[in-house]
Structure 1
Amino acid sequence: MRSAIKFKTLFGTLASKNLRTYLQTCGSLLKTLTENRRIAVGMALHGHLIKIGLSSERFIAIRLLIMYLDSRKSDEVSEIVKGFDGFDSTVHNCLINASIQWGNLNEARRLFDEMRERNEVSWTALISGLMRCGRVDESMWYFERNPFHNVVSWTAGISGLVQNGLNVEALKLFLKMLGSGVRPNDATFTSVVRACAGYGEIGWGMSVLGLIVKTGYEHNLSVSNSLITLCLKMGEKALARRVFDQMEKRDVVSWTAILDMYVGAGDLREARRIFDEMPERNEVSWSAMIARYSQSGHPEKALKLFLQMIQSGFIPNRSCLASILSTLATLEALRVGMNIHAHVVKIGFEKDVFISSSLIDLYCKCGETKDGRTAFDSIPEKNVVSWNSMVAGYCLNGQMEEAKELFDSIPAPNNISWNTMVGGYLENKQFDKVFEVFNEMLLCGETPNISTFSSVLSGCASIASFEKGKNLHGKAIKHGVQYDVFVGTALADMYAKSGDIESSKSVFDRMPEKNEISWTVMIQGLAENGFAAESLFLFEEMKRTSTVAPNELMLSSVLFACSHTGLIDEGLRYFNSMEAVYGTKPKGRHYTCVVDMLSRSGRLVEAEELLKSMPFQPESNAWAALLSGCNRHKNEEIAERTAKKLSELAEKNSSGYVMLSNIYASAGKWTDVMEIRRLMRDRGLKKSGGCSWVEVRNEVHCFYSEEASHCQLAAIYDMLQLLRVEMLAIEE
């Protein structure tokens, strides 16, 4: 606006001022218009200058040339160039710089080579331009022949090497500069400090720091910012903070660097304090805080900060959009996510592979796999991250056929791709497919990692596949991961669920590191395999020797162990101290364990009173445990009340009918069993299909109730019929 006003008042200045002042005003205005990209106003001013016959003035012509070069108006550039009576160094330098910016390095070299007289600017422009385009050898060839070896040319060479990742070469060139007697300036030190940070050598960094202090540049803003980066790269966080605190002037780069330090360290409290103190923020600082909140399990805070960012007038960058979409996926905030998706489309980021991957994650976690697939299909150049995101989305929603079909289309699946499929089949309890994909993975030459072994071993534990588990144990030893806490835990769980408690204990004892899950697996494994006393002893040992706090599942196992060893008072002591001592409120499973414990020991009245006093609705299993105890101890009065309660629950939950039917069957009350089954038929209820499996020659075969898809079904039924005939013959 100011440029337009200045342009309108310019025409009246010619009569009141001399020509020289007028030309200077025009030149100043052309420079402003060029910087502000006001090319239309600039062209109007050019027309005015032509009209009054001043456009050919050398000073004005050069300003016009710069303006048209900057806006890439090649036709206008040609007209301006024709008006010059021979090129001087200024015109040549303008053309060289423009050629470099346009990526036409050969033209830049041609212009440089035809110059009769080259000045410092000419040499530096070509050296810097070649460096920016990665043509380091050419650049250094010109650097060595540059007659103007002053601080500007030395700095151009050093910074160019740093830009190309040649940090050692940059430091060597800096030493040559010092040896030549040229004194470095702030730009030189900024580049050298970056070279030290990239090289990762603390000795070099300390030496350069000493030289910076000696030459008085320690308070220079650009140098100080680079020093903070160097200190952080070296892991010297305290020194970085000291540099920051001693800075006389700080800009948004300084504040963001120190903010990144606390964000990277996970110190959210201090990071937020720094963020709130920042006098000026940019997209990077906003994005850093939003991403850290999202990654640290504070999605609500991340979303709140994102909304503040938008209200403050900042436009989120790609990184910020990807972070907030991940946050919304965690919150399953579909509506807000769709609004941000619309914004992404509006600003043209919908084809960005990282943002699209976050969109896929958002839609799939909200159960909208069709929309996730639409986002996936819209990516023009998919990378393995986007492929994995869509496969994971299908797995999350139980769409394993679609997941496998898409997985088979991945051009180059990586370890994460394979692990996603293994984990997907595991989560959806398709254990035969877990081993099938794992074998494919090995045949393809992909090396399984810790995550792979943990998942496949969990599959073995789920179906108690002892032989397959032992085979995997051997592979884990071969790959050197058998002592990893996750693999070791999975091995201990697999052996325990396969009934080999000694092998489970052996794996557990050899683990150099044990976490909460490791202790839980071993305590639970001992309890469920009949080693209740050992389970309780291990629980007490954990409390004595480790920093792990007992969790819900662990305490369930302890109560289970007490129930099966008759330690009623001990079990009640654990139960009553759960909240006060262990900070865990008893859940339904804990009450069920205690009811079972009291019922087994004949303390039926206490068990019934406990069920009545519960702060929430008891599980069906709890009433079933009481009814089982009533049958065992012949208490028909409590049994009748309990059976009635179970019948009421069964009307709300079909699984209750199955449970009640099984209890009556175990008590020999077949008339009641038939009545329950009749009720289920009348109400159209059906027991969920069971699944069994058998392992033959290292291959797991799964069989589902009322399902006839096994490839050898006919042969199996033929064999069963043959066995039936032979058994009948033996009976006769």
Structure 2
Amino acid sequence: MAVTASSLLDRLIRHSIRPKIPTKSRAAVSPDSNPSSILHRIAAGDLRGAIAFLRASPSSLPASVYSRLLHLCASRRALVAVRRVESHIISSAHPSPPSVFLLNRAIETYALCGCITDARELFDEMPRRTGGTWNAIISAYASAGHSSEAIALFIRMNRSGIRPKDVTFASVLGSCANLLALFLARQIHGLILKFGFCVNVILATSLVDVYGKCRIIDESQKKFDEISNPNQISWNVIVRRYLDLGLNEKAVDMFLKMVFMGHIPLNFTISSALVACSEATMLKIGCQIHGIVVKNGFERDYIVESSVMEMYTKCGLLEDARCIFNSSVSRDVVSWTSMVYGYASHGRLNESENLFYQMPSRNVVSWNALLAGYVRHFLWEKAFEFFREMQVNTREIDFVTLGLMLNASAGLLDSEKGKQIHGFAYRHLLFSDIFFSNALLDMYAKCGILGCANIWFLQMGSGKDRVSWNSLLAGYARHGRSEAAFDVFRAMLKETDPNEFTFSLMLAASANIFVLKFGKQMHAYMIRNGFEIDVIIRGALVDMYCKCRLVEHAVRVFEEEVSRDIVLWNSMILGYAHNGGGDSAIELFEEMKRVGEIRPDNVTFIGVLIACICKGSVDSGRRYFYTMSDEYGVMPRVDHYECMIELLAKHGSALELEELIQGMPFEPTISMWSRISDSCGEQVCRRLREGRAKDDDSVATRCKVEGMAMRDKLAGNQVARNLSAGLLLRVSNGFQQLD
């Protein structure tokens, strides 16, 4: 449809909101009054008086007056006043066409007032458009977050033959960054070079931003380095892009480079650098940045103050964070919540609770902060109590709240509580968030309700992500469904890429069913696709190769890693022990002690004791058993006693075995009696074969039968300690008779 002056008049009629001004009112403000009268009102911020003057004046005003009035409307976000100004611009100019410059300013003002519809309507009805008109509407759409529309208008502008300006390119590049439209951004980059804008700092900064958001950080850094004199915004963009990509150390390096070059950073730049220090736990550099904050007078800036407090909180210096919090003059619910979360995340739950109940006001994030502390530190029953209190005191329950409660249900392995949370979410329409969906899937998987987990997984549809797949895989692997886990893994490869955690699960599944072929395939896949084989993956590989009886491969994987954690050491020690390499396991344990980087834990000593059983070395086993508590502070558990019982029953003295059991801090378990029964029978039969026993094997038979009887009785009613001692005495007498 053709846009004419008459269409503009029709728009004027539709948007006309000027009532008929009485004669008396016209006398108060003369149409022939000097424009300085309205300028005085504008300068004084009297928008109502300025609009009243405008309504009383039928003649056109100077363009500078309209511009200042539109600026005042934008600062007040006074949409109705903007419409009146636009109407006056059009009506006072009739029959001549209105000023394109002023209509462009009206488009910009509509955008600043948040009314993109009026801006677009005015743009469409303008009989003549200039490059400024296109720039105004494209910037309006870009600022309003309508990136696709901004790009579409830019394409129309380019086809119409109007040459864009630098601000137009900046707006369009911002829209490309929001849409992650890398191909289009490269094309616009070519136009920028074609039109000779390559040295413009605004456009260069926009290029840094768009390449950074599209994760082409090397190109982003290259564009930044080409800026001869980067401004504060340029530095802020490059620091932020590194932070968003998780390259925290590089973000801090760029910030420090900025400071060393004498630039005063923006508060947002300081905040980004402090967040990077928090994420990477770079406390020393964080303290240096705090010094820069004080030196440049940012210590009372709310954004910077909150970031400094968060940095100290995440790095564990809660007292320093509390000092900043106590001295803050602008404490609000955000800073209160930050301190509550800081104490809760570091296990200081009493202090977190005290601070929480002192809060003058709370929001759902405040409640979730303390709730997350309970869940993180395995206080799952306490988490449910707090959730009930939360339901009484606030209706602000969100996806995070319910996700945390599902984590607590999974921790308790209480599927009934998890189902109640599921029902609560369904009733309140709070089940569409990916965080909640993954938490629900994880709860069903951990509780072993794999049918429900699979159904919910299918219901997630296209909303599944890598975490969803890994949760389902973990459920199958944890509950012995390794074959099904491999089926899920094959389906996963068709939809998303696995990560290191995925491969650790699949290696564990291969180890569970002793399928060396699949384990080798996982190992080869990671190598071919350049995955980082970190210490966790190496531990899983060592465990898989050892369980599949390929110890030499496990040794090669173990020796490739320079830095080893306790899991990797334990996997190799246990691998040797379970594959008959008792001497090698003991040697590896002694090497671990010599290195001294890692302290043995309870699993380490289980491996060492199994190695002693394999060697038949009672003396070594006895020494390691008592050393683990005396030197390493590892208190013996049921597993350690079971190993010692098996060692003494197979290779030691029955009297010492009896003393060990009588000295245990708990009653013998069924598993212990099974080991005694089996070991006694094996030892007696071995002595008979060796000719060390008498021809009469009645004692051997009695030992075996009585051991089995005692095991069966314990399985039924947990016979008291005196019966256990009596059996041991009879077994001991039987050995003495055999000898």
TM-score, normalised to structure 2's length?
0.65
Q: Cα 1:595–1:492, aligned 2, differ >3 Å: closer, same or farther?
A: farther
Between 1:474-483 and 1:244-253, the stretch displaced more is 474-483
Q: Which runs of 5+ in 1 are unaligned?
A: 1-88, 678-726, 728-732
Q: Deviations over 1:515-567 (max 9, x none)?
A: 666666666656665x3xx3366358636863425548537744873689999
- Write the letter of the residue equivalent to 1:629: I
Q: Secondary structure at the match of 1:158?
A: helix
The answer for the alignment partner of 1:67 in structure 2 is: none
1:448 deviates by 4.5
Q: Is 2:214 aligned against 1:265?
A: yes
The answer for the alignment partner of 1:79 in structure 2 is: none
The answer for the alignment partner of 2:383 in structure 1 is: 434
Choose which of 398, 408, 423 in structure 1 pairs with 2:357: 408
Choose which of 26, 35, 45 in structure 2 pairs with 1:103: 45
Q: Distance in 2 between matches of 1:496 and 1:115?
A: 74
Choose which of 531, 535, 539 in structure 1 pairs with 2:482: 535
Q: Is 2:236 aligned against 1:287?
A: yes
Q: Is 2:197 aligned against 1:249?
A: yes
The answer for the alignment partner of 1:194 in structure 2 is: 139
- 8 Å Cα contact 1:604/1:630 also seen in 2: yes
Choose which of 531, 545, 548 in structure 1 pairs with 2:498: 548
1:644-655 aligned within 5 A = 644-655=623-634
The answer for the alignment partner of 2:73 in structure 1 is: 131
The answer for the alignment partner of 2:553 in structure 1 is: 576
Q: How many residues align?
A: 579
1:57-68 aligned within 5 A = none
Choose which of 589, 594, 600 in structure 2 pairs with 1:619: 600
Q: Deviations over 1:352-386 (max 9, x none)?
A: 33222211111112322232123234444444432
- 8 Å Cα contact 2:566/2:600 also seen in 1: yes
- 8 Å Cα contact 2:278/2:310 also seen in 1: yes
Q: Secondary structure at the match of 1:350?
A: coil
- 8 Å Cα contact 1:123/1:142 also seen in 2: no
- Write the letter of the residue equivalent to 1:144: S
1:425 deviates by 0.8
1:22-421 aligned within 5 A = 97=39, 100-105=42-47, 119-121=61-63, 123-125=65-67, 127-132=69-74, 133-146=76-89, 147-148=92-93, 149-178=98-127, 183-197=128-142, 198=144, 200=146, 206=152, 209-211=155-157, 214=160, 217-229=162-174, 236-250=184-198, 251-410=200-359, 413-421=362-370
Q: Cα 1:242–1:100, aligned 2, differ >3 Å: closer, same or farther?
A: farther
Q: Deviations over 1:152-191 (max 9, x none)?
A: 332332322222122221222233331xxxx444433321
1:302 deviates by 1.1
Q: Secondary structure at the match of 1:280?
A: coil
Q: Secondary structure at the match of 2:549?
A: helix
The answer for the alignment partner of 1:589 in structure 2 is: 567
- 8 Å Cα contact 2:438/2:471 also seen in 1: yes
- Write the letter of the residue equivalent to 1:592: N
- 8 Å Cα contact 2:402/2:425 also seen in 1: yes
The answer for the alignment partner of 2:651 in structure 1 is: none
Q: Deviations over 1:278-308 (max 9, x none)?
A: 2332211111111121232222211111111
Q: Deviations over 1:687-723 (max 9, x none)?
A: xxxxxxxxxxxxxxxxxxxxxxxxxxxxxxxxxxxxx
1:556-571 aligned within 5 A = 557-558=508-509, 561=512, 571=548
Q: Cα 1:630–1:283, aligned 2, differ >3 Å: closer, same or farther?
A: closer
Q: Distance in 2 between matches of 1:294 and 1:283?
A: 17
1:654 deviates by 0.9
Q: Cα 1:232–1:466, aligned 2, differ >3 Å: closer, same or farther?
A: closer
Q: Secondary structure at the match of 2:299?
A: coil
- 8 Å Cα contact 2:270/2:304 also seen in 1: yes
Q: Distance in 2 between matches of 1:113 and 1:508?
A: 64
Q: Deviations over 1:571-610 (max 9, x none)?
A: 23499369869x9897543553464466457664564466
- 8 Å Cα contact 1:360/1:375 also seen in 2: yes
Q: Cα 1:143–1:463, aligned 2, differ >3 Å: closer, same or farther?
A: closer
Q: Distance in 2 between matches of 1:204 and 1:489?
A: 36
Q: Is 2:619 aligned against 1:640?
A: yes
Between 1:424-433 and 1:545-554, the stretch displaced more is 545-554
1:264 deviates by 2.2
Q: Cα 1:662–1:450, aligned 2, differ >3 Å: closer, same or farther?
A: farther
1:671 deviates by 4.0
Q: Which runs of 5+ in 2 are unaligned?
A: 1-30, 517-542, 647-655, 666-719, 721-739
Q: Secondary structure at the match of 1:279?
A: coil
- Write the letter of the residue equivalent to 1:572: R
- 8 Å Cα contact 1:167/1:199 also seen in 2: no
1:424 deviates by 0.8
- 8 Å Cα contact 1:194/1:230 also seen in 2: no
Q: Distance in 2 between matches of 1:502 and 1:130?
A: 63
TM-score, normalised to structure 1's length?
0.66
Q: Deviations over 1:88-143 (max 9, x none)?
A: x9x96678556534524467678889999975246424542442333343344344
The answer for the alignment partner of 1:684 in structure 2 is: none
Q: Distance in 1 between matches of 2:544 and 2:146?
A: 61
- 8 Å Cα contact 2:232/2:266 also seen in 1: yes
1:468 deviates by 1.9
- 8 Å Cα contact 2:169/2:188 also seen in 1: no
- 8 Å Cα contact 1:168/1:195 also seen in 2: no
Q: Cα 1:576–1:239, aligned 2, differ >3 Å: closer, same or farther?
A: same
Q: Distance in 2 between matches of 1:203 and 1:521?
A: 39
- 8 Å Cα contact 1:461/1:494 also seen in 2: yes
Q: Secondary structure at the match of 1:249?
A: coil
Q: Distance in 1 between matches of 2:388 and 2:164?
A: 62
- Write the letter of the residue equivalent to 2:489: M
Q: Secondary structure at the match of 1:315?
A: coil
Between 1:125-134 and 1:507-516, the stretch displaced more is 507-516
1:261 deviates by 1.3
The answer for the alignment partner of 1:691 in structure 2 is: none
- Write the letter of the residue equivalent to 1:137: V
- Write the letter of the residue equivalent to 2:101: V
Q: Distance in 1 between matches of 2:102 and 2:321?
A: 53
Between 1:430-439 and 1:218-227, the stretch displaced more is 218-227
Q: Distance in 2 between matches of 1:142 and 1:508?
A: 57
Between 1:120-129 and 1:300-309, the stretch displaced more is 120-129
Q: Distance in 2 between matches of 1:117 and 1:670?
A: 113
- 8 Å Cα contact 1:325/1:359 also seen in 2: yes
